[in-house]
Amino acid sequence: GNSVTQMEGPVTLSEEAFLTINCTYTATGYPSLFWYVQYPGEGLQLLLKATKADDKGSNKGFEATYRKETTSFHLEKGSVQVSDSAVYFCALTFTSGTYKYIFGTGTRLKVLA
């Protein structure tokens, strides 16, 4: 079946540190891949996306590259800020069928000043 696996949190970093949150997927076919962010008390917001192999999604200093050979979509940021503290979800969907999203379990990031 289709699934998404994320590294467990929480991840605690100091401000300006480098961030990597690992995400790997299992899929029958060629999914589109996403990172969503959830700030405390809010719903999920799309952070970035990639729809085909070798695409790089980027937004607000975050980046992730769709690696088909390793079935991965790791999230990175060169210098995190306190305001980046949130829960990050990796997800996939397909461009056919029911277009259902499958989410990972989420990784909580805490950035300390």
Partner 1 sequence: EAGVAQSPRYKIIEKRQSVAFWCNPISGHATLYWYQQILGQGPKLLIQFQNNGVVDDSQLPKDRFSAERLKGVDSTLKIQPAKLEDSAVYLCASSSKRDSGSYNEQFFGPGTRLTVL
Considering the complex, what minimum distance in angstroms separates the CB of residue 16 from partner 1?
Answer: 28
* Cβ-based nearer residue to partner 1, 17 or 94: 94
Q: Binding to partner 1 by residue 77, rule CB under 8 A?
A: no
**Total residues binding partner 1 (CB under 8 A):** 24
Beta strands in 1-113 (DSSP E): 3-6, 11-14, 19-21, 23-26, 32-38, 44-50, 56-59, 62-65, 75-77, 86-93, 102-103, 107-112
Classify residue 32 by its DSSP letter. Answer: E
> Interface with partner 1 by CB under 8 A: which residues?
4, 32, 41-46, 49, 51, 89, 91, 93-96, 98-101, 103-106
